[in-house]
Chain A
Amino acid sequence: DGGITQSPKYLFRKEGQNVTLSCEQNLNHDAMYWYRQDPGQGLRLIYYSQIVNDFQKGDIAEGYSVSREKKESFPLTVTSAQKNPTAFYLCASNLRGSYNEQFFGPGTRLTVL
């Protein structure tokens, strides 16, 4: 059945290490997104991609990087330059260029020690 998956569910890393969060969807959606959720902050957009091999910075892109080599996959790398990386990260997808609602993955909780 179709859906969007994120792995792992929980991730621990030492300060100064880069870490990559996985996001895969089999919904045949063109657009994919990464959000960060902090307590009381809502969902803040990190990066988005509306087509393969193209992506755009969101509101809080500093310290993050992405790639979109395949339609199904949109991995997010949290680099050592991200000052406060501990957060809940959500990946989403939808059809491009419309008001279609976004489908979200289950999220990855990243804790940097």
Chain B
Amino acid sequence: DQQVKQNSPSLSVQEGRISILNCDYTNSMFDYFLWYKKYPAEGPTFLISISSIKDKNEDGRFTVFLNKSAKHLSLHIVPSQPGDSAVYFCAASETGGSYIPTFGRGTSLIVHP
């Protein structure tokens, strides 16, 4: 039973436009969320995170939005660049647990020049 779901396996976007990657979760105890970026044959790298006390966190071209009532978060990349082409993983963890994140299956983003 997937607790963190990324329902779009892939997304294709034109360079300069906005990329929106979505993530849904089922465990209401999750209160911290992270996004990782992964290139082929490499390890993931941390991109951005958000605590459940916030509904938005921004870092340069990357913004994460959290809708707790809908158990939904999204990653916005504006403007998208070809170098953003990668697999993006959403992860969630909970206070009082082991802090070990649960990962989604990832969304492959392709940004066309």
Interface residues of A (CB under 8 A from B): 4, 6, 33, 35, 40-45, 48, 50, 56, 58, 88, 90-92, 97-99, 101-107, 109
Contact = CB atoms under 8 A, between A and B. Distances in A.
Contacts of B104: 42
Given A40-B105, A42-B104, A104-B44, A97 B89 contact: no
Chain A binding site: helix, strand, loop or mixed by DSSP? Answer: strand
Interface in B54-113: 89, 93, 98-101, 103-106
Interface string B17-57: 00000000000000010101000011111100101000000
Contacts of B101: 102
Contacts of A97: 99
Q: Which 7 A-B pairs have the closest CB atoms?
A: A104-B43, A42-B105, A101-B46, A43-B103, A99-B32, A42-B103, A104-B44
Interface residues of B, number: 23
A106 B42 contact: yes
Contact of A105 (B43, B46, B49, B100): B43
Contacts of B45: 104
Chain B binding site: helix, strand, loop or mixed by DSSP? Answer: loop
Contacts of B103: 35, 42-44
A91 B98 CA distance: 17
A90 B100 contact: no
Contacts of A109: 41
Given A40-B105, A42-B104, A42-B106, A98 B43 contact: no
A44 B105 CA distance: 9
A42 B89 contact: yes
A50 B93 CA distance: 16
Nearest to B105: A42
A41 B44 contact: no
30 contacts: A4-B43, A6-B43, A40-B9, A42-B104, A43-B44, A43-B89, A44-B103, A45-B100, A48-B98, A56-B98, A58-B100, A88-B41, A90-B43, A91-B43, A92-B43, A99-B32, A99-B49, A101-B36, A101-B46, A101-B49, A102-B46, A102-B101, A104-B36, A104-B43, A105-B43, A106-B41, A106-B42, A106-B43, A107-B41, A107-B43
